[in-house]
């Protein structure tokens, strides 16, 4: 870990101003991914701005009937909130499917969205990785890729996004609120939040340097049955092979998002429309254009079968 200077920010304005002042700065909140990566010198900030004590730890009702979740709300608290459990069960379910109790007690809403991939080649600094070190190549392509993306990947990177929470947020049409270094706020629909790897897999989100997530908002509840099915080799404390999050209404319509298949939580509006027709049709629409390798080709039938199980469960 490279040496860094440290400061604690008391306000959002102070945090963004500190970023503007410093060289190679990063915000740190829960730290559960950033410190992991700093120990391996995959992340090498020269200055850390501790935003964990910002007053962004509340979950408030919005005038539109939704929820505004502060960026610093811990995963445990978000999953436990009675409104979330009642109206956004998918989100609660996705959160408790992730990581461990200890990690969920630290990990924040904003940090969860910003998790970096768990590709083992990204984590091994001896190996080529375009995401870690642009231009070095992708060792996962042609290497161990059982866990990797089957859709939306590029010749430069086949990493997946590891978040469970983000899958629920995507299905629930969440928006990300930010403030940039100049104090300017904006709202980014989560559908537009992640960048496709293309030739620049090191650029993962649309956030500008120094732009700080302040909240994630959920529109008003949509009702329906909420199910999150995370498929993994061991029963807990593992990243998803794939995951399926659905909200299904009584008439069979609804929405569906996938985890573990691409660089972002995967949702396709055409696939939502196919929900009444069943898992096969939905999967075909969702994974249209998928290009799996020989080790991860199983993810396609797995998505379809998991979805079929989930839809059967939704029917009761």
Partner 1 sequence: MQTPAEFELSRRGMLVGGAASVAAVTIPPVTAAPTRPATPPPATAKVAFEVNGTARELEVDTRTSLLDALREQLHLTGTKKGCDHGQCGACTVIVDGRRINSCLTLAVMHEGDKIVTIEGLGTPDKMHPMQDAFVVHDGYQCGYCTPGQICSAVAVLDEIKAGIPSHVTADLNAAPKVTATELRERMSGNICRCGAYSNIIDAISDVAGVKA
Partner 2 sequence: MKFDTPATTNPIDRLKVVGKPTNRIDGPLKTTGTAPYAYERHDVAANQAYGYVVGSAIAKGRIASINLDDAKAAPGVVAIVTAADAGTLGKGNFNTAKLLGGPEIEHYHQAIALVVADSFEQARAAASLVRVEYVRAKGAYDLAAAMDTATKPKASFGVEADTSVGDFASAFASAPVTIDARYATPDHTHAMMEPHASIAAWQDDKLTLWTSNQMIAWSVGDMAKTLGIPKENIRLDSPYIGGGFGGKLFIRADALLAALGAKAAKRPVKVALPRPFVTNNTTHRPATIQRVRIGATADGKITAIGHESWSGDLPGGGPETAVAQTRLLYAGANRMTAMRLAVLDLPEGNAMRAPGEAPGLMALEIAVDEMAEKLGMDPIAFRVLNDTQVDPEKPSRPFSQRRLNECMQTGADKFGWARRNAKPGSARDGRWLVGMGVAAAFRNNLNGPSAARVRLDRSGIVTVETDMTDIGTGTYTIIAQTAAEMMGLPLDRIVVKLGDSAFPVSAGSGGQWGANSSTAGVYAACVKLREMVTEKLGFDAATAIFADGKVSVGRRSAALEKAADDSELVAEDKMEYGDLAEKYQQSTFGAHFAEVGVDAMTGEIRVRRMLAVCAAGRILNPKAARSQVIGAMTMGAGSALMEELAVDKRFGFFVNHDLAGYEVPVHADIPHQDVIFLDETDPTTSPMKAKGVGELGICGVAAAIANAVYNATGVRVRNYPITLDKLLDKLPDIA
Q: Which residues bind partner 1 (CB under 8 A)?
A: 1-6, 8, 28, 31-32, 35-36, 38-39, 41, 48, 50, 52, 76, 79-80, 82, 85-86, 89, 92-93, 96-97, 99-103, 105-106, 125-126, 128, 130, 137-139, 141-143, 155-156, 235-237
| Among the residue ranges 12-20, 64-72, 229-237, 264-272, the one whose residues contact partner 2 (CB under 8 A) | 229-237
Site size toward partner 2, by CB under 8 A: 39
Residue 194 CB, shortest distance to partner 2, in Å, is 22
122 is a contact residue toward partner 2 (CB under 8 A): no
DSSP sequence for the chain: ----EEEE-SSHHHHHHHHHHSSSEEEESS-TTHHHHHHTTSS--SEEEE-TTSS---EEE-TTSSEEEETT-BHHHHHH-HHHHHH-HHHHHHHHHSS-HHHHHH-BHHHHHTPPP--HHHH-TTS-BTTTSTTS-BSSTTS--TTS-SSS-BTTB------SHHHHHHHTT-EEEEE-TTS-EEEEEGGGTBPP-TT-TT--BSPPTT-EEEEEEE-S---SEEEEEEE-SSSSSS--SEEEEEEE-TTS-EEEEEESSSSS-B--HHHHHHGGG-HHHHHHHHTTT----TTTTTHHHHHHHHHHHHHHHHH-
**Residue 229 binds to partner 2 (criterion: CB under 8 A):** yes
Q: Which does 13 bind (CB under 5 to 8 A by kind): partner 1, partner 2, none?
A: none
Q: Identify what 120 binds: partner 2, partner 1, none; CB under 5 to 8 Å per kind.
A: partner 2
Give yes or no for a contact between 59 and 76, defined as CB atoms under 8 angstroms apart.
no
Nearest by Cα to 258 from 273, 270, 249, 268: 268
Task: Give the residue among 134, 137, 116, 138 at the shortest CA–CA distance from 293.
Answer: 138
Which option in partner 1, partner 2, none does residue 138 bind, with CB closer than 5 to 8 A by kind? partner 1
* Cα gap 118→159, rounded to integer Å: 8
Query: 102 or 280, CB closer to partner 1?
Result: 102
Residues 22-51 that bind partner 2 (CB under 8 A): 39-41
Contacting partner 2 within 230-259 (CB under 8 A): 231-239, 241
Q: Per CB under 8 A, which of residues 70..89 are in contact with partner 2?
A: none
Instruction: Confirm or reject binding of residue 301 to partner 2 (CB under 8 A).
Output: yes
- Residue 118 binds partner 2, judged by CB under 8 A: yes
Instruction: Choose among partner 2, partner 1, none what residue 65 binds, the Cβ cut-off being 5 to 8 Å by kind.
Output: none
Q: Could you say whether residue 163 binds partner 2 (CB under 8 A)?
A: no
Rounded distance between C-alpha atoms, residue 257 and residue 95, angstroms: 15
| Contact status: 184 vs partner 2 (CB under 8 A) | no
Q: How far is the CB of 50 from partner 2 (least distance, A)?
A: 18
Interaction partner, residue 195 (partner 2, partner 1, none; CB < 5-8 Å by kind): none
**Which of 128/219 has CB closer to partner 1?**
128
Paired tokens of 13: 């304005």
Residues that bind partner 2 (CB under 8 A): 1-3, 39-41, 118, 120-121, 123-124, 126-127, 139, 142-144, 146, 229, 231-239, 241, 279, 298, 301-302, 304-306, 308-309, 312
């Amino acid at each position: 870990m490279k040496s860094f200077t440290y400061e604690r920010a008391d306000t959002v304005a102070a945090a963004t101003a500190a970023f503007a002042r410093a060289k190679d700065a990063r915000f740190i909140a829960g730290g559960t991914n950033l410190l992991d990566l700093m120990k391996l010198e995959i992340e090498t900030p020269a200055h850390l701005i501790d935003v964990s004590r910002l007053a962004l730890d509340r979950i408030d009702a919005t005038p539109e009937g939704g929820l505004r979740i502060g960026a610093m709300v811990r995963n445990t608290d978000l999953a436990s909130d009675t409104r979330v459990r009642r109206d956004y069960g998918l989100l609660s379910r996705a959160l408790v499917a992730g990581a461990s109790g200890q990690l969920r007690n630290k990990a924040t809403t904003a940090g969860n969205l910003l998790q970096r991939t768990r590709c083992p080649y990204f984590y091994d600094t001896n190996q080529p990785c375009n995401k870690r070190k642009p231009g070095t190549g992708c060792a996962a392509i042609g290497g161990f890729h059982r866990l990797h993306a089957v859709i939306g990947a590029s010749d430069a990177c086949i990493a997946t996004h590891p978040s469970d929470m983000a899958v629920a947020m995507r299905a629930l049409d969440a928006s990300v609120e930010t403030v940039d270094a100049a104090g300017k706020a904006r709202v980014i629909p989560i559908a537009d939040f992640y960048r496709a790897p293309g030739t620049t897999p090191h650029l993962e989100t649309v956030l500008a340097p120094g732009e700080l997530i302040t909240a994630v908002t959920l529109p008003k509840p949509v009702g329906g049955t909420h199910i999150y099915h995370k498929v993994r080799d061991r029963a807990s404390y593992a990243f998803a092979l794939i995951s399926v999050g659905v909200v299904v209404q009584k008439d069979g319509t609804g929405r569906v998002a996938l985890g573990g298949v691409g660089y972002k939580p995967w949702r396709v509006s055409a696939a939502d429309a196919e929900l009444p027709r069943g898992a096969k049709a939905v999967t075909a629409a969702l994974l249209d254009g998928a290009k799996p390798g020989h080790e991860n080709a199983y993810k396609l039938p797995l998505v379809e079968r998991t979805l079929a199980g989930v839809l059967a469960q939704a029917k009761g």
